[in-house]
Each structure stands twice: as C-alpha cells, then as structure tokens.
Structure 1
Amino acid sequence: MPSWILGDVAASDMTTIYPLAIYATVQRKLGRPLALPGDTAAWEKIMPMSSASLNSYFHEWLVLQESTAGERFNTVDDSEFTWMSAWPVIAGWLDMPWLPPVEEGDGKYETVEMPSRPRGYGPKGRCRSTFSFAEWAKRAETKSAWARLKQDHGLVADPLEGADGMFSALQFSLTMSWSWATKMNKARKFGWHGHVDSVESIQEVMTSLAERRMLPPLKQKA
C-alpha cells in the first residue's frame, strides 16, 4: 500500500506535488513567499512518501517473485520526510523566499477536527490552517497570475478550474497534525531494498511537469 504519491499527474486523491507547484509558481509570479498554511505540528510531522517511479519498480519486482504471491506489502520511499526539511529546498529551486508556520495567536488558525482517532485511541486528529488553498485559487489575482504564466510559457493546463478538488489533498497533507510511520520491513525480508530520496523525487516530478508545459520553468530567467 502506498502513501502520498510523488508523480507527475494533474490530479489524484493521493498526489500533492502538482497543486503545490501551481501554488509556488503563482506566489513567485505575484512576488510573494512560499507560505505554509499548517501549524508547527504539521510542519514537523514525519510522513512517508511514495515515488511513482519506485512504486512501478516495486510492483514489477512483486510479480517476478514467487514468494510474494498472495502477500500484502507497503510501498514507500523509506526516506524520512518532513515539510520542515523540504520547504526551504523547494523554495530554493524556484528562487523564491519562504515562510515557516505562523506563530500561535487568537484567530490565526482555523481548526477542523477529524471524525476518527489516528492512533485508534486518544484524541481525534486535527487539521489547523491559516488559509485555504482552494480559496486562494479562486482569487482574481491568482487567476490573473496563472493566465499570464500560461501565456508567457505556452502552458497547456488550466488547473485552477475545479480548485476544491485540485487542492484538497494538498490542504490535508500540509495541515494534518499527526505523524505516522509506514514500515518496509516485510518487503525487505522478502528481498526488496529499493530506496528513493523523497525530496529529490519531488524535484524530478516538478521538472517533468515543467517539461510537459504543465508548469512554468522552475528557474526564472535572469
């Protein structure tokens, strides 16, 4: 079973990189920093990622092993990932400033309580955010900036249409407050030793999206 999938696709319930890249490139166009909507807990939480390319190799390996028939496996990059470590790097690729989570204060965060308990006991999960990506995508200035990017770079996508669906997974990923671990121990016992640096994979995905003209180039021209 995979986790958040790192792949160069336009939309998926488990893919966050394309909407993140849209947000980042529009913010850069507007001269604004890469700001995170989540709180410090969301910023620091450890979460597994599943690179689409590694998933493909993993499934190829599965069908070639007689011993794996009828078994269930996790499939993740096995690379410890936090938004805290990735955020400055992503901003660096785009030559733009970034901001850490907003400091605590009355009225700064909107809290959504999940219906379930992530651990199966204890407190319910919470998502806390200072802004909504979907609402950001519906702003006139956001649409205008994307229209200019589309014209300047010959982009072929209109990702701001259907913003609620496009940005929902990203909103959840960046604001959920609980960590979780997805172990690859079982797969390793069966002989799998694949590994990907998730941050490097994000860069590869963004570069591919730009090459397909779904995004402007990561680096701005001098």
Structure 2
Amino acid sequence: MASHAPSLSYSVHRSSIIIGASPRSVHNTLLTLAVYATICRHEGSRFRYPGTRYTWEHFCDMSNARVLAQQHIWAAVTAQCKNQAFNCTNGDVFTWKSLWKVLCDIFDLEFLPFDESTDEFDVVGIMKNKGKVWDEIVEKYGLHKINLEEITCFEALNNVLDFKFQHVCSMNKSREFGFYGYIDTLKSIGMWVEKLRDMKVIP
C-alpha cells in the first residue's frame, strides 16, 4: 500500500438534503414526505406542513441523487479535481411553500397555507402510530411489504423543517472547475415520485 500512496487521491462532495428513489432509505426526505402524503390521502386527513414559518418562507436547496452521482464520476476522471472538496446541490433554490404546492398537486391533496398552530403539530408523534395504516395501504395497492419504520424518518424531517437559517450552498467552485450538473428541484419531485411508484414503494 505504501508504494502506491503517492498516486492516491480523494475528492469531497458536500451534499445538501438528498432526494432520490430507494426502497429503503429512512433519511430520504422525499420518501418520508411521499409516505406522509399517501397516508393523509388514504385517511382523508389534512396534509399539514410540520415545519416552522421560517422554513416555509425562506430559501432552501437540495441535492438530486443523479446530480450527486454525476459529480462523483466527473471528479474521479478530472485531474484537477484531485484532493479537492466541492459543494453539490441542484444549482437552484426553492421555498418549502412552493414545494408543498408541488406535493399537493402530485398526491391530489388540498394545499393548506401555513398554520400558526403548526408548532403544536407533532408529526413525529402522529406518524409513530400509523404503522397499521401503512400496512393497509401496502395490502390495498400491492406494494412491497416494507414497514413504515424502514422507509421513513420523521425525526429527520422535523430537523430539516426546523432550520433557523437559509439552507443554501454555492456551486461556484464546481462551476469554476468545470462541473455544470443541474436539475430543477421542483420539477424533479414528480420524476422521483413516479420512480417510487414504479418501484411499488408508494401507490
């Protein structure tokens, strides 16, 4: 190993909130949101935003799994990227208010404005008791038999939606080094949801 050490290099890829499609990925924010929306539609309950007014109104960014993979490959075959660190986001920003509208359209749910009583809305506690409801959905739509706890993490979602700062990163260094990967975050939501449906993870 020592004889090869001088030729070894690395690259660091700092992602934001990663979204993609996976049958088991508890920290995939989109998967948790998709399950939450599916349960709300199944029960006829309100699809309430469980975050704060600050995150509802202020900018945030995400990292599409495909953009992240593209950057990994690019860095691996680009000599000037050796031993460098890069941010990796989709290259745009969004507000959770706008993303919530997209989710409502996709799952055919009523869009609800931010509720001042949201701070009292304990989505973690409510979803903790929805295991049997999810089992009913799995059975009804012939989905893969995956427990609710295997595909969601509402504690992590709570953290993401409780940021007290604008969660945005600069892609300037990546651009300067020649990486131009980009995807429209809001448009990509529908694509990933369809992928999850094709995989029989959600109906």
TM-score when normalising by structure 1: 0.78
Q: Please, which runs of 5 or more residues in structure 2 have no aligned partner? A: 1-13
State the alpha-carbon separation in 1 of the partners of residues 134 and 76 from structure 2.
43
Compared with structure 1, are the counterparts of its residues 157 and 206 closer, same or farther at alpha carbon in structure 2 (3 Å cutoff)?
farther
State the alpha-carbon separation in 2 of the partners of residues 51 and 17 from structure 1.
11
Instruction: Number of aligned residue pairs: give it.
Output: 189
Amino acid at match of 2:201: M
* 1:124-143 equivalences in 2 (<5 Å): 129-139=119-129, 142-143=130-131
Amino acid at match of 2:76: V
Q: Secondary structure at the match of 2:148?
A: coil
Compared with structure 1, are the counterparts of its residues 143 and 98 closer, same or farther at alpha carbon in structure 2 (3 Å cutoff)?
farther
Residue identity over aligned pairs, in percent, reads 29
State the alpha-carbon separation in 2 of the partners of residues 22 and 203 from structure 1.
14
Hey, what does 1:147 align to over in structure 2?
Answer: 135
Hey, what does 1:196 align to over in structure 2?
Answer: 183
Compared with structure 1, are the counterparts of its residues 12 and 144 closer, same or farther at alpha carbon in structure 2 (3 Å cutoff)?
closer
Question: Residue deviations 1:65-103, cap 9 Å, x none?
Answer: 111111110110011121111111110111111212212
Amino acid at match of 1:208: K
Amino acid at match of 1:176: F
- For the pair 1:184 / 2:171, whether they are aligned, the reply is yes
Question: Residue deviations 1:33-53, cap 9 Å, x none?
Answer: 321012221201211100001
Q: CA deviation at 1:62?
A: 0.8
State the alpha-carbon separation in 1 of the partners of residues 197 and 33 from structure 2.
13
Amino acid at match of 1:11: S
- Please provide the CA RMSD for this pair: 1.9
Hey, what does 1:175 align to over in structure 2?
Answer: 162
State the alpha-carbon separation in 1 of the partners of residues 55 and 115 from structure 2.
12
* 1:4-153 equivalences in 2 (<5 Å): 4-9=17-22, 10-13=24-27, 15-103=28-116, 108=117, 129-139=119-129, 142-153=130-141
Q: CA deviation at 1:212?
A: 1.0
Compared with structure 1, are the counterparts of its residues 100 and 176 closer, same or farther at alpha carbon in structure 2 (3 Å cutoff)?
farther
- For the pair 1:208 / 2:183, whether they are aligned, the reply is no
Q: Secondary structure at the match of 1:175?
A: coil
Amino acid at match of 1:185: N
Q: CA deviation at 1:180?
A: 2.8
